[in-house]
Amino acid sequence: MLIKRITVGEIKVPLKVAFKTAVRNVNEVHDLVISIETDTGLTGYGEAPATAAITGDMLGSMRAALDLIAPRLLGKRLQDFNALLRTLHKHVAQHRSLKAALEIALYDLRAQAMGVPLYQLLGGGDPQLKTDITISVNDAAVMVKDAQRAVAEGFDCLKIKLGGHTWQDDVDSVLAIERAVGPHVALRLDANQGWTPKHAVLVIQAIERAGVALELVEQPVPAGDLAGLKFVTDHTLTPILADEAVFSARQALQILAIGGADVINIKLMKTGGISQAIEVANLARLHFKTCMVGCMLEAAISVTAAAHFAVAFDDVVSYIDLDGPQLCATSAVEGGMGMDGPWITLPDAPGLGITAVHGLTNVKVFDV
């Protein structure tokens, strides 16, 4: 089974409401979509968002990197799977989101060739997940309304974006949301690197003293401040999640070795795809830690792949943050994961279960 064609295009999907964090403000998903076709008629799909502020990936740079990688994959056998993965990773540095898209498409093809859903290829599991939903940083009154709307739609776990205001404003926003939705709704906080270590401890301890039991706090300090991350972990009762601090298995090992965080956030766009995500999950298991499987602001292709991964590694994945498609006003994808409020259900179809992607622009084809 040979790779005969690689196609790249772009999709734009509007969001229901603006996505605001401490580092960016976005109104639409604008991602690369990659399809890889074999000489037997199979097509695998992958997707990569341009998240310059976090991963450094931009649409133009990813497309330029693909110009170097795609010709090296054409004509190769899908059966030489590990060699294909080595090829796509070794010829261009960084560009993790692009590599993730290529890996996702290859794993999709491999599962299709074996006639099983991707989650079964990766090790099985229950093909249903429950995700949180993001509440963007905003004025407290707006955040409360957004939280109430999410709960009315069936979500019982909210990820609250903070870090864009003073520490007291952050505390007040969380307490106002908790009062509005009640204690039965789980709250996760995400500062997106927006606090100093002391600022983080001040905010978290103030919320703890107010009697609000947070489920976790995500990446409270800048990604490179491992000592600061450990300081927050050591001085708060709430579990601390490392996100931007962990892109690779090596970085995960650094965090785990020093006890720098309680939970590791695995995102395929950070790890460069499924193969490295597997290594991070295995390291967490060896260190008796749990993981979250999350996403950037992505549409249904890559989030479907992340859901398959989370299902297969459900023994170490305790938290799901795969709300990207729920934040979109429309979908350009046929097939893939089903969504019903917070519930994600994976199809029994081989691979990702995706059958078509519509509305691609700026299409380029690489042929044998």
DSSP string of 15-27?
EEEEEE-SS-EEE
**Secondary structure class of 167 (helix, strand, coil):** helix
Tell me the C-alpha to C-alpha distance, in Å, between residue 91 and each of 71, 82, 350. 11, 15, 30
CA distance linking residue 248 with residue 350, whole number of Å: 28
The yes-or-no answer on residue 289 being catalytic is no
Closest CA to 73 of 143, 171, 5, 161: 5
Closest CA to 291 of 314, 260, 307, 273: 314
Closest CA to 66 of 100, 42, 40: 100
Could you tell me which residues are annotated as the binding site for substrate? 24, 134, 159, 295, 297, 321, 323
CB neighbours (10 Å) of residue 262? 16
Identify the active-site residue in 99, 230, 267, 289.
267
Place of tokens 């060699």: 83
Could you tell me which residues are annotated as the binding site? 24, 134, 159, 190, 218, 243, 295, 297, 321, 323
Report DSSP state, residue 316: T
Identify the active-site residue in 20, 99, 161, 270.
161
H or E element that contains 6 = strand 3-20
CA distance linking residue 174 with residue 95, whole number of Å: 35
Could you tell me which residues are annotated as the binding site for Mg(2+)? 190, 218, 243
What are residue 301's phi and psi, to 5 degrees? -70, -60
Positions marked catalytic: 161, 267
